[in-house]
A = this chain, B = another copy of it.
Amino acid sequence: MRLYAVGQRSETVRRANLSAIVRELHVSGARSRSELVARTGLTRSAIRGLIGEFVDAGLASEVRATPLGGPGRPSPVVRPNPESAVVLAIDIAVDSLAVALVGLGGEVLDLVRVQRPRGHSSVDEIVGKLAELSGDLRAGSGNDSLIGIGVAVVGVVRRTDGLVSTAPNLGWRDVPLGSRFAGALNSVAPISIANDADLGALAEVRRGVAVGVEDVLYVHGEVGVGGGLIVNGRPLTGTAGFGGEVGHIPVNPDGIACQCGSVGCWETEVGEEALLRLAGHPPGGGWNEVEAVLEEASAGSAVALGAFDALARWLGIGLAGLVNVLNPRLVVLGGLFGRAHPFLIGALEAELDRRTLPGPRALIRIVPARLGVDAPLLGAAELAFEPLLADPASRLRPRGVRAELASA
């Protein structure tokens, strides 16, 4: 029900078909020609021709599958070549910094994560450290097929230019992170920056617990609470990429001050600090104290279990609104919420029963995330692959493609 109409010329169609194939290969890792025919709806001969272009460009290889004793010739299997197109993924989290090199097909070629102390850090310090880590990684890999750089950051990000509007955990406000990285990373590859929870959602949909689900709500708890929304199979970014800031839904008008400047935001009731308060642990204790509460709950402590019950009720209040508005199929709990899933799920389901309309309520499942702490990093890699997946023709052209494309 697209509201704007765009016609399709033949080169647009060729691009769309190349895109369909490379996307399929990138997400699946390997497909037989027959599977590609079935999954893309293209004809056998079209698939053969288009795959030939990828093979010529070095982006994919075709191997004859070993016969399994069935009738007929086995369909050749096409695999993406991870080294042929590599992205640099970067994650700026509350407690750590990470960089990875990820190849076409999603293979993680190298990954480094270093701890950082919580609290405010200067942009220079963080960008400098990440540039250093990235330089080491790239020097070690000997690979110069870098096609893009993706950055996940624990903050509110304008996607169009990588402006970090606000990142309270880092103490940042209006930081032009895109241009800062462009200067520091010594690369001409395009840089894309997005919110960490948005990218966690993308990673869970591409390679985690939500593969194949069209309407997903991902909610990530740590100091703050972030969200990533997948609607009709696409990330909901909003008009400038600010979408998904579920941590700042007002849920308690008589609540406490939020670091965003408002009062009673969802994250004030369900973030790490709320858990520590409820469980009688010292505020600002960070991940160590949160671990301690999780261990107490595992050991059966009534206080710790009661704290998770209380947290779950507020989690349910916020989720109920989102479920009523978005009607998702799957709710994925990440970070603290994923780890505490067994302690939360009972009271959470009960709260949703009370506060969600029966129609959308009947359709949702609530599951813990699968990719753990690396979800935003893997999502940043997916973000960096997006231009290639959307338009692989630009990558094929230098190798000498049909002349008609030159004028496109």
Contact (A242, B357) CB under 8 Å given A1-B390, A21-B5: yes
Query: Does the CB pair A249–B19 fall under 8 Å?
Result: no
Q: Report chain B residues within 8 Å CB of A231.
A: 231, 236, 238
Let me know if A252 is at the binding interface, CB within 8 A: yes
A194: min CB distance to chain B, Å: 11
Q: Which residue of B lies closest to A20 (CB)?
A: B5
CB within 8 Å of B: which of A1-53?
1-9, 12-13, 16-17, 19-21, 23-24, 27, 39-43, 46
Query: Does the CB pair B357–A156 fall under 8 Å?
Result: yes
A33: min CB distance to chain B, Å: 13
Let me know if A293 is at the binding interface, CB within 8 A: no
Query: Does the CB pair A363–B239 fall under 8 Å?
Result: yes
**A358, B39: Cα distance in complex, Å:** 43
The interface centre, meaning the residue of A16, A23, A27, A325 with most chain B CB atoms within 10 A of its CB, is A325
Contact (A262, B8) CB under 8 Å given A13-B13, A358-B165: no
Query: Does the CB pair A238–B327 fall under 8 Å?
Result: yes
Query: Does the CB pair A7–B1 fall under 8 Å?
Result: no
CB within 8 Å of B: which of A270-319?
317-318
Interface string of A237-256 (1 = CB under 8 A from B): 11111111110111111100
Query: Does the CB pair B246–A1 fall under 8 Å?
Result: no
A-side interface residues toward B, CB under 8 Å? 1-9, 12-13, 16-17, 19-21, 23-24, 27, 39-43, 46, 156, 158, 165-166, 205-206, 214-215, 227, 229-246, 248-254, 260-263, 317-318, 320-322, 324-329, 354-360, 363, 386, 390
Number of copies of this chain that the complex holds: 2
Query: Does the CB pair A251–B250 fall under 8 Å?
Result: yes
Contact (A360, B262) CB under 8 Å given A8-B8, A236-B231, A250-B321: no
Contact (A4, B233) CB under 8 Å given A249-B324, A251-B250: yes
Query: Does the CB pair A238–B5 fall under 8 Å?
Result: no
Query: Does the CB pair B242–A327 fall under 8 Å?
Result: yes
Contact among B227, B325, B327 with A240 in the assembled complex (CB-CB below 8 Å) = B327
Q: Report chain B residues within 8 Å CB of A8.
A: 8, 13, 16-17, 20, 41-42
A-B contact pairs, 10 of them (CB 8 A): A2-B233, A8-B8, A156-B359, A232-B236, A243-B325, A245-B325, A248-B355, A251-B251, A251-B253, A321-B321
The interface centre, meaning the residue of A41, A156, A243 with most chain B CB atoms within 10 A of its CB, is A243
**A355, B245: Cα distance in complex, Å:** 12
Query: Does the CB pair A41–B165 fall under 8 Å?
Result: no
Q: Which residue of B lies closest to A16 (CB)?
A: B8
Q: Report chain B residues within 8 Å CB of A9.
A: 41-43, 46
The 9 A-B pairs with the shortest beta carbon distances in the complex, nearest first, are: A238-B327, A7-B40, A249-B321, A7-B42, A165-B359, A5-B20, A242-B327, A243-B327, A245-B324
